[in-house]
Amino acid sequence: MKKTLLVLMILCAVAVLSCGTSGGGSSSPAAPAASKAEGDLGAFSLRLEDNFQYGITYQGMLTNRALFDGKKITAGETYTLRMTYKASRDLEGQLMIGLVDTTEAANYWNSLSWDDAAGVEMLYVDASQKDQEVSATLTLKTLKAATGSSAAANALVFQTEGEGVRGKAGSGVQKQVTLSFSEFIFTKVQ
């Protein structure tokens, strides 16, 4: 039952994040159009939703096949992410970033760039205050391969820890947060 609920929640999150709106809504487009150079997504917003039913974080997924030129992530690759953003509220903890495969073939969650058991952590950006401009350049190294080339198999996850009740959906005290990116350039180095 828990696994079925987890599957449904992840599928719903992927479906919601894969949709944008037109006409001034407060959308969090999961797949902003690539502009300028490949991997340059320009300006867009990403909403991090309450994810306390599975942990102690607010979480958002960026699924965009253009980031990987339509190919799948393989082990041993290196990517750089240059980004500038502002958060819609103070972040309670660091912003954590990693590559993840969220497909059924990956049992709906397979970290590709971190492995807690091996001591390889997600990448971190220090906590920030509401409307504080944050710029960072990060290097992600893949440990595992994605199961395919779909956007869900090659996703960037953004999450931040917060106060709430682990295992209880909607219990996050501060509620969702939106990251508004003014710069987002994702490049494969090797």
Whether the predicted pLDDT of 88 surpasses 50: yes
**143 is in which domain, residue-wise?**
2-20+30-188
Cα–chain center distance at 117: 21
Question: What pTM did the predictor assign?
Answer: 0.80
**What is the tens place of the pLDDT at every residue in 123-144?**
999 999 999 999 999 999 999 9
Closest CA to 102 of 160, 54, 141, 155: 155
Q: What is the CATH number of the domain that holds 152?
A: 2.60.120
The model's pLDDT over 164-185, given as tens digits with 9 standing for 90+, comes to 999 999 899 999 999 999 999 9
Question: Per the domain annotation, does 82 fall within a domain?
Answer: yes
Asked whether residue 138 is assigned to any structural domain, the reply reads: yes
Residue 73 lies in a domain: yes
Domains of the chain: total: 1
Mean pLDDT, range 71-99, rounded to an integer: 96
Contact of 52 with 171, CB cutoff 8 Å: yes
Closest CA to 124 of 160, 97, 161: 97
Q: Let me know: does 142 contact 77? Beta carbons within 8 Å.
A: yes
- Please name which of 154, 186, 156 lies closest in space to residue 36, comparing C-alpha atoms: 186
3-state secondary structure of 149: coil
pLDDT mean over 6-11: 39
96: CB partners within 8 A, 6+ apart: 57, 122, 123, 124, 157, 158, 159, 160, 161
The token pair at 48 is: 């991090």
**In this structure, is residue 25 part of a structural domain?**
no
CA dist list (Å): 32 to 64, 109, 130, 138: 7, 23, 23, 20
